[in-house]
Amino acid sequence: MSVVHPSPLTDRQIKQIERALSDVGDYGEVQLVKEKGQLRFVRKVISESALPTPADFRREQSGQGR
């Protein structure tokens, strides 16, 4: 059985990860996919709240939400 040692991240990969983190927002995820000890993919999962915000509630109360 061979052991695969992870390779260090390159500057480009670090910038790519940082960009992904800034893109996903408060509820998102950044997933790092490794193959054979190397970073292969940076996956972004972006989530948005499905609950109404206080501003949505105020619009409905004022009759503007129609």
- pLDDT tens profile 8-65: 899 999 999 999 999 998 889 999 999 988 999 999 999 888 888 888 778 878 876 5
pTM to 2 decimal places: 0.64
Q: Say if residues 17 and 41 touch (Cβ distance below 8 Å).
A: no
Helix ranges, the chain (H): 11-24, 54-62
Question: Is residue 1 pLDDT above 70, yes or no?
Answer: no
The number of beta carbons lying within 10 Å of the beta carbon of residue 8 is 7
The C-alpha atoms of residue 50 and residue 64 are separated, in whole angstroms, by 20
pLDDT value of residue 2:
67
Pair of tokens at residue 51:
């609950």
Pair of tokens at residue 4:
């695969």
